[in-house]
Amino acid sequence: MYRKSPLRGIVLIFVGLVMVTGLIWLIISLLANPSEKATEVVDQFYKYEQDGDFSESWSLFHSSMQERFEMEYYIQDRARMLMNDFGVETFTYKISKPEKVKDWQMEKDSQPFETVFKVKVIQNFNSRYGKFSIFQEVFVVKEEKQWKVLWDYQY
């Protein structure tokens, strides 16, 4: 005589819950507001910078930024600037709500990006030179289906 295992029912319920949760996550991520995605990428960028994981923060740069800074140079320069020059181990930061900008250019003579989000970031440092803050406007644009970080170089 064949008997059903009670464990099989529990496993089926668990698998069903995992699938439903995954489907909900997929729908939310597809429908997420672009400005929220822009904020998330800026937040992730500065979390990596806080942790000293400059290769990961560099990976969030738009290809135009990656052309400006080779990864090895960026990693060494950021670590040198923060740790050696400023004498800090980490920092805190605040991110503003994103602001949509049309036809923004990274440099004066560069090709404009149709739609970008401008996010204002304030980094707060506690260093051997005292407390200080750096304000920077960070721009986020979609490149190959991913949101990427740009800095302003319009002198």
* Residue 68 covered by a domain: yes
The residue among 117, 118, 112, 148 whose CA lies nearest residue 135 is 118
pLDDT (tens place) for every residue of the chain, 155 residues total: 556 666 777 777 777 787 878 777 766 655 568 789 999 999 999 999 999 999 999 999 999 999 999 999 999 999 888 888 888 878 999 999 999 999 999 999 899 999 899 999 999 999 888 899 999 999 999 999 899 999 999 87
- Token pair, residue 52, equals 């000293």
* Residue 3 covered by a domain: no
**Which residue range forms the structural domain that includes residue 82?**
35-151
Give, rounded to a whole angstrom, the gap between the first and last alpha carbons of the chain. 83
Q: Which residue has the tokens 């004498």?
A: 87
* Residue 7 covered by a domain: no
* Residue 8 covered by a domain: no
Provide the domain count of the chain. 1
- DSSP state string for 26-47: HHHHHH--HHHHHHHHHHHHHH
- CATH number of residue 122's parent domain: 3.10.450.100
Q: Give the predicted TM-score (pTM) of the model.
A: 0.77
* Residue 10 covered by a domain: no
* Residue 25 covered by a domain: no
* Residue 67 covered by a domain: yes
* Residue 119 covered by a domain: yes
